[in-house]
Structure 1
Amino acid sequence: MHWQVQEVKQRFSEVLRAAEAGEPQIVTKHGAEVAVIIDIAEYRRLHGDHVGLMDYLRADPVDDVDLDAEIDRPRQPPRHIELAD
């Protein structure tokens, strides 16, 4: 979506909602594109702000995961594969 600067000033909440929904909002001034308003997560992804592996693991990302949950797996024997000489 393209917005003129004056429109952005008047409808800023609407512009932010659209950006948060994943729709980049382009701002124009005198008909020329001058800025883009995007969701903060997309900005961080593009900017390269990322968490290192050790920081990620220290943050306990699996806090709500039940690690003792039963896993239902098929109990079939492995298939036999003939290998050519």
Structure 2
Amino acid sequence: MKNNTWQLQDAKSKFSQLVENAMSSEPQFVTKHGNNAVVILSFEDYKKITKPKTDLVTFLRSSPLMEIELDISRNGELPRNIEL
């Protein structure tokens, strides 16, 4: 067994150690019935892999639709009548 691979029953009984290993060194893998089940990783590692590549403003400004003119004028008609 690799140092970063745990069987489910070992992961449950040594959860604090599992979390400490994930925080201090590398992601930890947990298997269930011999099959890969989950990966435990530090919050810092999680933030790195889920952080967007660009911010929203930069993304929208680089859109191929940036040059398209939009008609955002409002319809001047009154709303429909509803019988109550």
TM-score (norm 2): 0.56
Amino acid at match of 1:40: F
Amino acid at match of 2:38: A
Partner of 2:30: 27
Q: CA 1:5/1:48 → structure 2, altered by over 3 Å: closer, same or farther?
A: same
Superposed CA RMSD: 1.9
Distance of 1:30 and 1:6 partners within structure 2: 10
Using the aligned pairs only, state the percent identity: 35
Partner of 1:43: 46
Amino acid at match of 1:21: S
Corresponding residue SS for 1:20: helix
Pick the structure with greater CA Rg: 2
Partner of 2:8: 5
Q: Across the two proteins, how many residue pairs are aligned to each other? A: 52
Amino acid at match of 1:17: E
The list of structure 1 runs, each at least 4 consecutive aligned residues, that deviate by more than 4 angstroms after superposition, is: none
Distance of 1:31 and 1:46 partners within structure 2: 26
Residue deviations 1:25-74 (CA, integer Å, cap 9, x gap): 00000111111000001001101168x6xxxxxxxxxxxxxxxxxxxxxx
Distance of 1:8 and 1:19 partners within structure 2: 12
Unaligned runs of at least 5 residues, structure 2: 56-84
Unaligned runs of at least 5 residues, structure 1: 53-85
